Structure 1
Amino acid sequence: MSYISELRAVVGTRPLILPGAAAIVLNSDGHVLLLQRADTGGWGLPGGFMEPGESLEETVRREVMEEVGLELDGLTLMSVFSGADQYFRYPNGDQVFNVTTVYTAKARGWNFHLDPEEATTAQLFPVDDLPNDLIAPEVPILEHYVRIVKNLL
């Protein structure tokens, strides 16, 4: 049983505040890797919740490896996202307020090995052509990243 499953056994679907990490994984053209999530059907960044004893860097590296089978090169801290716009209600009713540390990174190779329990599809998108059906907590993260990119041009 996972850490979150153990918590859910005690609190049910009530909101939890959960730390996690996500990666904006970029290819050489600056396209962003997004996953179509198996649990919601929406698009999101690779990443997930921290396990006890893990650092945020370890979390993001583990999650990207588990979800898409990619090893990351160096991580660059982009920002930390929290607050009301990081609330999410999963289809099963579980509620969470994410505290997400987001890194930018490049992958070592692009051979995807999707975990079908995590994602149904992985795809690279230009930053000016992201899918409309992003999961809600990812919207402010990707908007922030797009603003950074546009300010660099």
Structure 2
Amino acid sequence: MGYILNLRKRVGHEPLISTGAAGLVYNASAQLLFVYRSDTHLWGLPSGSKEIGESLAATASREITEETGIHAVNFKFITLLSGPSMQFTYPNGDQIDAVIAVYQAFTQDHQLIPQAGETDKVAFFDLDHLPTQITNFSRQILVAAELV
């Protein structure tokens, strides 16, 4: 069980500062990787919370693999997002105030495998045809990375 889930047992739905990482993962065709989230029913970038003892780059790498089944390489730090616009309430009522490190990475993998219970679909999109129904966090990341 993860660090945030263990904290949730103690604090319920109260706001938590959640440190995590997200990946801007490109394939050989310069398409960007997205996951369709089971909880919000929106497209988003692969991302997740940091575990104890884990670097933020390792968090990004782990979350990309867990949520999509692919292995990304050549991680490069892009930006750090935090503040009032990074507060979110999940459909189950859990509240977070997120601090998200964003990394760019690349993959040669072609087989995409959604993570049961967390992601329903995984797909690459052309930069000029990104999904329109995306999470607020992902939209903010795309703006910060100057991709939209």
TM-score, length of structure 1 as denominator length:
0.90
* Aligned 8 A contact 1:87 1:137 in 2: no
Give the aligned partner of residue 100 of structure 1.
100
RMSD of Structure 2 on Structure 1 (CA): 1.4
Return the letter of the residue paired with 2:131.
Answer: P
* Aligned 8 A contact 2:21 2:57 in 1: yes
| CA–CA distance in structure 1, aligned partners of residues 135 and 143 of structure 2 | 13
1:11-68 per-residue CA deviation (whole Å, 9 max, x = no partner) reads 1111111110110001223211110001111111112000011111111111111111
Q: Helix, strand or coil for the counterpart of 1:53?
A: coil
Matches within 5 A, 1:125-136: 125-136=125-136
| CA–CA distance in structure 2, aligned partners of residues 121 and 23 of structure 1 | 16
Return the letter of the residue paired with 1:47.
Answer: S
Return the letter of the residue paired with 1:142.
Answer: L
Return the letter of the residue paired with 1:85.
Answer: S
Give the aligned partner of residue 3 of structure 1.
3
| CA–CA distance in structure 2, aligned partners of residues 12 and 76 of structure 1 | 35
Matches within 5 A, 1:44-83: 44-83=44-83
| CA–CA distance in structure 1, aligned partners of residues 128 and 93 of structure 2 | 32
| CA–CA distance in structure 2, aligned partners of residues 130 and 122 of structure 1 | 13
Residue segments in structure 1 that go unaligned for 5+ positions in a row: none
* Aligned 8 A contact 2:78 2:104 in 1: yes
Deviation at 1:107, TM superposition (A): 1.1
Return the letter of the residue paired with 1:117.
Answer: G
1:60-110 per-residue CA deviation (whole Å, 9 max, x = no partner) reads 111111111111111011101111111111000001111110111101312
| CA–CA distance in structure 2, aligned partners of residues 117 and 72 of structure 1 | 22
Q: Helix, strand or coil for the counterpart of 2:129?
A: coil
| CA–CA distance in structure 1, aligned partners of residues 106 and 12 of structure 2 | 37
Deviation at 1:127, TM superposition (A): 2.0
Aligned residues: 148
- Select between 91-100 and 22-31 the one with higher mean Cα deviation: 22-31
Q: What percentage of residue pairs aligned between the two structures are identical?
A: 37
Deviation at 1:125, TM superposition (A): 1.5
* Aligned 8 A contact 1:114 1:122 in 2: yes
Residue segments in structure 2 that go unaligned for 5+ positions in a row: none
| CA–CA distance in structure 2, aligned partners of residues 142 and 68 of structure 1 | 19
